[in-house]
Amino acid sequence: MTTTHDHFPTDVTGLPEAHPSQFVELAEGERFDLSIAPVAKRIGDATVRMLGYNGSIPGPTLKVREGSEIIVDIENQGDTEATVHWHGLRLENRYDGTHETQRPMGHGERYSARVSFPDPGVYWYHPHIREDYGQEMGLYGNVIVEPADPGYWPPVHREVAVTLDDILIEDGQVAPFSRTETTHSAMGRFGNVLLGGGETDLSLTASLDEVVRFYLTNTANTRVFRVAVPGARVKLVGGDSGRIEHEQFVEDVVIAPSERAVIDVQFTQAGVLRMEHRTPDRTYCLAAIRVGQEPAEPSLTDQFEAPRTNADLAGERERIAPYLEAEPDKILSFLAEMDMAAPEGDGPVVYSCPMHPEVIDEEPGHCPQCGMKLLAVEAPAVTYTCPMHPEVVSEQPGHCPNCGMKLLPADLVAQAGGHHEHEEGHTHHAHDHETHAHHHGHEGHDHAAAGGIEWEDDMVEINRLTTPANMRWKLIDKATGDENGAIDWRFRVGDRVKIRLLNEMAGDHPMHHPFHVHGAGRFLVLARDGNVEPNLVWKDTVLVRTGETVDILLDVTNPGLWMAHCHIAEHHESGMMFSFKVDPEDGR
């Protein structure tokens, strides 16, 4: 039996209460203290043990100037070894905050990082040791880099940073985490409580016709968010690393784990509006926004209604044109191998899809609806009979000794009226459609309904049981066959590398992956499934949907040993990562 010593602590006795996140402006060369420590936080009706940066969830929002540098003095008073990764920042490699670039801090240890900010935009910081645990427990915070050019962003009345997260609460506490292994490796740990800005009931205010800039960051372990503000005008103006090519009015914006979006919102009607997360099946409230009757001054309506074009990215579009038709320099595929044990005992087994339990087969295979590997389950107690010869009865599946027909469940034969030719009933047989499921991923996954995204955990108990021992997520270099940590890529500062990301449907659990490249450079999305990306933005993370092929162009600017990985925390912890080397431009 698992003891509490096998799990991280959940007791809140004596812990300080988490306090609201602070907004901290830091000038060139300033030092900032950042501590990691447990806190008690109210989540709905429960008070739970979490981890905070400087006692808050999210941690402090740091605002700095483009081109500046600060020193962050970090102290670890948390439950495990720690590093702090500065996500999206093209900083000096040794301060990237991974096990590749520093010795992790033990409990009570300190580390100082020199953090530089070459690019405007919204970034964030989080753990890179047991990221599945630390991030779920509240270790995340924003960095807003103010552009040197005062006209970089369109004018707004106010700026607000909002983190998007979820958390899994069971029996009045955060669902247990093993100290020794990651769980929920198949789909990642979905939460059952959503958090906007770290709160279950985030409340904001706005004036009539006010234009508010929201810096949105998806800090969830695995959940993809689709954010909308019904009743308001929403304009997408930026992404991971600054402005987009063409500002555009949108109904909603999809943000994968670790991605950011910058939206300007004008509140044109008084009352209480909601910031929502919308899936094909459900709508969640992320924040309530109370809009007053008094109009905002000065009026920014004219500027808001005039979307702008980013001349720098328009120029990049000309420079990337030759890469659109060029063959990729690297091809990286995403694949899963699942090895769940068959049920114990001597009884018969059948094969079923955890995502679609109505899909049952007598033989191993893949689900025709989503492509996932069928798992062995104990066959239900069923009596089988022959529709042509009802006197033939068996407790095992098989064939009729009189006519050779396949025996069918007796209740099914009775429902159908017995003695006549009969199809195989309500059971959806996967192997009949296996080729379709493997090679036509968009249809097999029902892209039209879900957009190639797993919006919820549809196989809760199976997912909970998956660990790196039975669920292996792979990044595969198609040229060499090397997998994960064995991948050996080497680039030079100044290179522009076209990388094709191929999200295979042939694996045991096809699903989306947010692919993240550390601070070796930044990239542009060139095309999705061969369709040229219509709106460029510099990025460090891209969502690759189920069955999708995405071409990116990595602009290599920073020497060092850098990581690339899936940013579903449980996939990352299950090995879906590698490191690559960038040499200086002069080769030394």
Give pLDDT, residue 427: 30
Angle at CA of residue 339, ends 333 and 343, nearest 5°: 155
* Co-location of 231 and 83 in the same domain: yes
AA identity, residue 291: V
* Co-location of 300 and 347 in the same domain: no
Q: Please tell me the distance from the alpha carbon of residue 405 to that of residue 401, in angstroms, as a whole number.
A: 8
* Cis check: omega of the bond before 58, within 30 degrees of 0: yes
Judge whether 105 and 531 are in contact, CB under 8 Å.
no
**Domain stops at, among 258, 289, 309:** 309
The 10s digit of each residue's pLDDT in 501-518 is 999 988 888 899 999 999
Q: Residue 151 is encoded by which pair of tokens?
A: 């006209």
pLDDT band at residue 439 under the 50/70/90 scheme: very low
* Co-location of 266 and 176 in the same domain: yes
Under DSSP, the state recorded for 297 is: S
pLDDT over 50 (residue 424): no
* Co-location of 76 and 117 in the same domain: yes
Q: Please tell me the distance from the alpha carbon of residue 179 to that of residue 177, in angstroms, as a whole number.
A: 6
Q: What is the mean pLDDT of the chain?
A: 88
Mean pLDDT of 230-245: 98
Please enumerate in sequence order all residues whose Cβ is within 8 A of that of 561, keeping only pairs 6 or more positions apart, or say none.
Answer: 93, 100, 101, 579, 580, 581, 582
pLDDT over 90 (residue 23): yes
Angle at CA of residue 231, ends 250 and 150, nearest 5°: 55
The answer to the question of residue 14 being in a domain is yes
Give pLDDT, residue 420: 36
* Co-location of 360 and 298 in the same domain: no
Give pLDDT, residue 445: 35
* Co-location of 12 and 116 in the same domain: yes
Q: Residue 149 is encoded by which pair of tokens?
A: 């050019």
pLDDT over 60 (residue 436): no
Give the number of other Cβ atoms within 10 Å of residue 329's Cβ: 17
Helix (H, G, I), strand (E, B) or coil at 46: strand
Give pLDDT, residue 468: 92
The separation between CA 571 and the C-alpha centre of its own chain, rounded to angstroms, equals 10
Mean pLDDT of 428-436: 30
* Co-location of 503 and 427 in the same domain: no
pLDDT band at residue 401 under the 50/70/90 scheme: confident
Give pLDDT, residue 462: 82
The answer to the question of residue 22 being in a domain is yes
pLDDT over 60 (residue 160): yes
The answer to the question of residue 459 being in a domain is no
Query: Which of the pair, 391 or 350, is modelled with greater confidence?
Result: 391
Please enumerate in sequence order all residues whose Cβ is within 8 A of that of 435, keeping only pairs 6 or more positions apart, or say none.
Answer: none
Beta bridge partners of 168: none
Q: In what order do the strands lie in the sheet with 541-544?
A: 490-492, 577-583, 560-566, 513-517, 541-544
pLDDT band at residue 550 under the 50/70/90 scheme: very high
Measured CA distances, 443 to 3, 270, 448, 509, 546 (Å): 45, 43, 8, 15, 11
Q: Residue 165 is encoded by which pair of tokens?
A: 């997260």
- Least reliable range by pLDDT among 4-8, 115-119, 221-225: 4-8
* Co-location of 189 and 324 in the same domain: no
* Cis check: omega of the bond before 298, within 30 degrees of 0: yes
The answer to the question of residue 588 being in a domain is no
Give pLDDT, residue 425: 30
Under DSSP, the state recorded for 314 is: H
- Least reliable range by pLDDT among 186-200, 338-352, 443-457: 338-352
Q: Please tell me the distance from the alpha carbon of residue 410 to that of residue 419, in angstroms, as a whole number.
A: 12
* Co-location of 418 and 525 in the same domain: no
Judge whether 510 and 355 are in contact, CB under 8 Å.
no
Q: Please classify residue 247 by burial: count the beta carbons closer than 10 Å to its beta carbon, then call 0-12 exposed, 13-18 middle and 19+ buried.
A: buried
Task: Provide the number of structural domains found in the chain.
Answer: 3
| Enclosing domain of residue 494 | 315-337+469-583
The separation between CA 202 and the C-alpha centre of its own chain, rounded to angstroms, equals 22
CATH number (domain holding residue 319): 2.60.40.420
Give the number of other Cβ atoms within 10 Å of residue 263's Cβ: 22
Q: Residue 77 is encoded by which pair of tokens?
A: 């008073």
Q: Please tell me the distance from the alpha carbon of residue 281 to that of residue 118, in angstroms, as a whole number.
A: 41
Q: Please tell me the distance from the alpha carbon of residue 10 to that of residue 84, in angstroms, as a whole number.
A: 23
pLDDT over 60 (residue 59): yes
Mean pLDDT of 394-417: 63
pLDDT over 60 (residue 440): no
Judge whether 184 and 167 are in contact, CB under 8 Å.
no
Give pLDDT, residue 384: 74
pLDDT band at residue 485 under the 50/70/90 scheme: very high
* Co-location of 327 and 372 in the same domain: no
Place of tokens 């590749």: 100
Give pLDDT, residue 196: 98
AA identity, residue 4: T
* Co-location of 490 and 561 in the same domain: yes
The answer to the question of residue 462 being in a domain is no
* Co-location of 188 and 276 in the same domain: yes
Query: Which of the pair, 361 or 539, is modelled with greater confidence?
Result: 539
pLDDT over 70 (residue 170): yes
- Give, rounded to a whole angstrom, the gap between the first and last alpha carbons of the chain: 55
The 10s digit of each residue's pLDDT in 290-327 is 999 999 999 999 999 999 999 999 999 999 999 999 99
The answer to the question of residue 456 being in a domain is no
Give pLDDT, residue 460: 85
The answer to the question of residue 108 being in a domain is yes
The answer to the question of residue 288 being in a domain is yes
